[in-house]
Amino acid sequence: MNWELDLFQMSTATWLLIIVPLAIWSLFWTTLALWFSAKNGDKAWFVFFLLVHLAGIPEIIYVRKHGCWPFRR
């Protein structure tokens, strides 16, 4: 018997348990970064966040680097 994880045979419920939290995480950080980039007048960053979706990683870096909430200096 082959015990390897076959991604194509995972149930819909399992996929939802993976995708929904990731989507909520990404939506939160993208919204936060869009808000602060617009507030700071960073037009290039604003467009970048609108066009590129990488699970919130660049957004977290931006918010952290600029000392925005929740990373106040």
What secondary structure, in 3-state letters, does 6-69 show? CHHHCCHHHHHHHHHHHHHHHHHHHHHHHHHHHHCCCHHHHHHHHHCCCCCHHHHHHHHHCCCC
Is the per-residue pLDDT at 10 higher than 80?
no
Residue 4 belongs to a domain:
no
Residue 52 belongs to a domain:
yes
Residue 13 belongs to a domain:
no
- What does the pLDDT look like over 15-47, one tens digit per residue? 888 889 989 988 998 998 899 999 999 899 999
Please tell me the distance from the alpha carbon of residue 3 to that of residue 33, in angstroms, as a whole number. 41
Over pLDDT 70: what percentage of the chain?
A: 85
Averaging pLDDT over each range in 23-27, 51-55, 66-70, which range is the top one? 23-27
Q: How many domains does the chain fold into?
A: 1
pLDDT given for residue 62 in this prediction: 83
Q: What is the residue range of 46's domain?
A: 23-73
Is the per-residue pLDDT at 72 higher than 60?
yes
Residue 3 belongs to a domain:
no
